[in-house]
Amino acid sequence: MENLQIRLRQNAGILTAIGIFVLFYVFYNFNHPRGFAPAIFIQNSNEVFTLAMVAMAQTMAVLLGGLDLSVGAIMTLVNCLASYLLVGSPLQIILGFIVCMAAGAACGFLNGCIVVYGRIQPIIATLATGAIFIGIALFLRPSPGGNVDDDLSWVMTNDLYEIAATYGFFDDGEAAWFQPIAWFPVPLLLIILIAVLVWVPFSRSVTGRTVYAIGSGEGAAYMSGLAINRAKIAAFTLGGFFAGLGGIYLTLQTSSGNADIPQAGAYTLNSIAAVVIGGTSLLGGIGSAIGSIFGALILRTISFNFRIFEIDPLMQPLFEGVVLLAAVSLGAIRVLRVKNTLDLFR
Amino acid sequence: MTSISDQAGNKTKPWLSPDDKPIVIAGGFVLVILAVGTAYTLITQGTAPLLSPTYLLQQLQIGAFLGIVAAGMMLVILLGHIDLSVPWTIAAAAMMATAVGGPMAIPVGLAIGLAVGFVNGVGVAYLRIPSMIFTLGVNAVMRGLMVAHTGGFAPQTAATDLMEFLAGGRILGIPVAILVWASVSIGAIVLLTRTTIGKAIYAIGNREAAAYLAGIRTRWVIIAAFCLCGLCAGLAGTLLAGYSTKAYQGMGDAYLLPAIAAVVIGGTNILGGRGRYVGTLVGVILIVLLNSVLSIMQMPEAGRQVIYGTVIIAMLLVYGRGHRVVN
């Protein structure tokens, strides 16, 4: 019982995020003329995937106590690269996926090396590498365009039934046992798989625990004999990998690559907002990438709600801004609880 | 430029104090950029336009807008904070200044900047929300307000004559914008080196708890610094509207990251507490000249971005490295 209480307190941020998301999303579906339908579900999860990945990428740097201003740029770079590679024979496409994921991870690895061996603050190092990545993306795609396998982009942005029907699994998706899960959106399944197969093992490994330890106190982590350099590089590399996955999905969604600098900036800024809303502390050491997924879900659900209430499009940016400001201001509640003013300065 | 600063503490006196090293190296790099650009034009055109006073004054005039933004940004970075609301503070100041027009145009533009800065300061100092995320939210709100105000289009209103004069006019052949930048710079130098609030800014940047225990009213200093940063952004926005004779959506977007880069290249620690204003000046000139020389070389946007990022990293690798964690 006491154990449960401790766990609840430790995960207060992420639980709040989940609660807000469920509230917003149920509200949205109640008010949508075709709410609670698989079609809405698929469309929404398509729109959320890329931001969720970029937010997970941002989480890695934030857990270390830093900030990664290059996540949007890595996403854009991989987006441009993938717009060349995700086409051709199945083998070529698989190879393309591997190259794109490796490219994202390599960008993150470069960030990590500059932060660790160059000893430059993450925020400013990634500001610079972000410019470099955008530059390379512009080399790859001076103007928007690209060529992506049609079947692939169709099934990846649809439900499980379409995968089976398109590639001829399970009697073209008509097998009786398959029906209960056939409606499930592919992007949502991918988010869950990535969280469970990549993030959870990482956060429970020694390297993952070291990332949390560095965020809580780098000196203490060092004195405890933890391999801080390795953990930092691993965290940034994983961040680059997540951002790269976001870029790949963006390519599948739009069937093109676009080295759009404002878009990259918008994703970076939204990722920071998603991380904070997801209960991760900007000071480092507290939070999780799963919280950031819910942060991204909340941000997107807010815009979904705008759509159905037909709020004047000109007022939407204002509403979004006010909601964002209000969400981050919730963190100020902590100040009210502080009894010793000196406790404020951490 | 190379004199030993009082802030450095004059401990062992190496040939360059740690605060001066970035300024000297960045200054040297400015000369390298000029030399490379001149060599390029000599080879391709047989002339050296880069070294002409006209060209240099023109570059300084363009740099004035970035310089004013960077001056305000530096105050906030010295505190260990950052102001990401600059882009839409610039745009809002420009739009409201042109919308009001007449003699009140410039005061309104400055007031907008001041008001945004004050909100930022209250959020950071009293609500204790990390500046990174609070100013980001304020930026989003300002964007929303301006989109609602203008309907998402460039406003039709034009800048007043005074705004155009301040941004584009000349006195005795010197662009007025440079004079405005120079006054802001003198103000910043006096503030940082000769006033208690300047010392308080450095103290808070080094260790806020210690500054608080030393009796500094840290909250008011933080609010003041954010107000000044907003004021600088408002001034830059008003001038920019004068320079292009009108305000438009996203006019401030190109100033946020270069301003941060200029401050950091000038040797100011991104975590706060140390850095000299002269460094920021050199940083601004470096970035403006780099952009200009690259455009003379007709470098495509892609190459420019790569070179821009590489230069920032290279400069910081030379003098901006942190300490190894040893305890």
CB atoms B327 and A345 under 8 Å = no
**Average pLDDT in the B275-282 region?**
92
Predicted local distance difference test score (pLDDT) of residue A1: 63
Contact list in B for residue A134 (CB cut-off 8 A) is 305
Residue A1 touches partner B, C-beta closer than 8 Å:
no
Give Cα B184 distance to the centre of its chain: 11
Question: What is the fold of B21-40+50-319?
Answer: ABC transporter involved in vitamin B12 uptake, BtuC (1.10.3470)
pLDDT at B5 over 60: no
Q: What are phi and psi of A178, to 5 degrees?
A: -80, -20
Predicted local distance difference test score (pLDDT) of residue A16: 85
Q: What are phi and psi of B325, to 5 degrees?
A: -75, 120
Predicted local distance difference test score (pLDDT) of residue B13: 58
Predicted local distance difference test score (pLDDT) of residue A63: 94
User: How confident is the prediction for chain B on average, in pLDDT?
Assistant: 86
Total beta-carbon pairs less than 8 A apart between chain A and chain B: 170
pLDDT at B2 over 60: no
CB atoms closer than 10 angstroms to residue A80: 29
Residue B134 touches partner A, C-beta closer than 8 Å:
yes
pLDDT at B311 over 70: yes
Closest C-alpha to A157, from A189, A132, A130: A189
Predicted local distance difference test score (pLDDT) of residue B72: 94
pLDDT at B128 over 70: yes
List of E strands, chain A:
none
Contact list in B for residue A331 (CB cut-off 8 A) is 127-130
| DSSP code, position B4 | P
**Segment 82-101 of chain B within 8 Å of chain A by CB:** 82, 84
Given a contact cutoff of 8 angstroms between Cβ atoms, the answer to whether B184 and B71 are in contact is: yes
Residue A115 touches partner B, C-beta closer than 8 Å:
no
Burial class (CB in 10 A: 0-12, 13-18, 19+), A200: middle
**Average pLDDT in the B189-217 region?**
91
**Segment 214-233 of chain B within 8 Å of chain A by CB:** none
Mention every residue, 6+ apart, whose C-beta is less than 8 A from residue B136: A269, A272, A273, A324, A328, B84, B85
Q: Which residue on chain A is closest to B311 by alpha carbon? A: A128
Tens digits of residue pLDDT in B19-31: 788 888 889 889 9
3-state secondary structure of B56: helix
**Average pLDDT in the B192-219 region?**
91
User: pLDDT above 90 covers what percent of chain B?
Assistant: 36
For the four alpha carbons of B140, B141, B147 and B148, in that order, the dihedral sign comes to positive
Residue B179 to residue B184: CA distance in whole angstroms: 9
**Average pLDDT in the B213-239 region?**
93
**Average pLDDT in the B289-302 region?**
87
Q: Which residue on chain B is closest to A276 by alpha carbon? A: B133
| DSSP code, position A196 | I
Residue ranges in chain A modelled with pLDDT below 70: 1, 331-332, 334, 346
Is the ipTM above a cut-off of 0.85?
Answer: no
> Can you give the pTM of this predicted structure?
0.87
